[in-house]
Chains A and B, each alone.
Chain A
Amino acid sequence: MNLKEIAEILDAEAVSGADLATVDIPNAYACDLMSDVLAFCPPGALLLTGLTNVQIVRTAQMLDLPAVVFVRGKKPLEETLALAKENGIPVLMTKLSLYETCGKLFAKGLEPGYAPTKEA
């Protein structure tokens, strides 16, 4: 699935310099705990979250995640969007809840991106 298709499924507004159709999304991970994302979100996954602060983009950046979806119609801080832009990370904003966002993408066949890291 590409990011353009995902934006259509979620009726989402996109903030991105990139052509969404060229951003390929293999799977997704939904979470509001950044340490959880850092532990379990695989490379390449789309991050779905209800938080909109700057550290969400930082986390995506640290893990080289291709894009972030902010749910529930929350308006991200200007700084959040600025950092995303600076790092070329497309942002989608949907009015849907996290549950509905996940449900719709799952129903369309987007795979879960859960990959436990190596055991300590």
Chain B
Amino acid sequence: MAEPVSLEYKIEGNDYMVAGAASNNIKNTLKMLGIESDVCRRAAVVTYEAEMNLVIHAGGGILKALISEDKIELCTVDEGPGIPDIGKAMTEGYTTASDHAREMGFGAGMGLPNIKRNSDVFEIESTPGVGTQLKSTILFQK
């Protein structure tokens, strides 16, 4: 791959019908580029969990993927309510998901731990009232 591939999607808040389409595009791009299947799978889990968090918790946001020769960087930026206590949010089982999100099968409080587990480098920054930024890097060779 000579040039890095950059993808960017605007994700709508609370739209459960189209949610996941952007993550699927990213996954298909990785496959098309011939990226190893374990990496594709980890990237798929990270993007989909991050995209669903934008849909469920943030009123939407931006999802970006930068695929270069040796890694994929996935990030989300939103102007949602932010996370007051990141330590708590990172705890398995902690959730503030609405009843509606739960009915759809979300709100296990597992998304952020899943993202971290599948990342080689994981960063999250959040300011209540301003928004949240998440970045996950997955290396192709380890």
Contact = CB atoms under 8 A, between A and B. Distances in A.
A31 to B, nearest CB: 9
A39 B19 contact: no
Interface string B77-107: 0000000000000000000000000011111
B131 interface: no
A58 B104 contact: no
A7 B97 CA distance: 35
Contacts, number: 81
Which 8 residue pairs spanning A and B have beta carbons closest together? A58-B20, A35-B110, A34-B105, A33-B108, A35-B108, A62-B44, A120-B117, A62-B48
B20 A35 contact: no
B121 to A, nearest CB: 13
Mostly helix, strand, loop or mixed at chain B's interface?
A: helix
B17 interface: yes
Contacts of B107: 33
Given A55-B19, A62-B27, A64-B41, 19 more contacts: A33-B106, A34-B108, A38-B45, A38-B48, A38-B49, A39-B45, A39-B114, A39-B117, A43-B41, A49-B105, A53-B16, A54-B19, A54-B20, A55-B20, A58-B24, A59-B48, A62-B20, A63-B41, A79-B17
- Size category of the binding interface on chain B: 20 to 34
- Size category of the binding interface on chain A: 20 to 34
A32 interface: yes
B13 interface: no
Nearest to A31: B105
Contacts of A79: 17
Contacts of B41: 43, 63-64
A54 B117 contact: no
A58 to B, nearest CB: 4
6 contacts: A33-B107, A34-B104, A36-B110, A38-B49, A38-B114, A63-B45
Contacts of B52: 34, 55
Contacts of B59: none
A39 B103 CA distance: 19
Contacts of B126: none
A120 B113 contact: yes
B132 interface: no
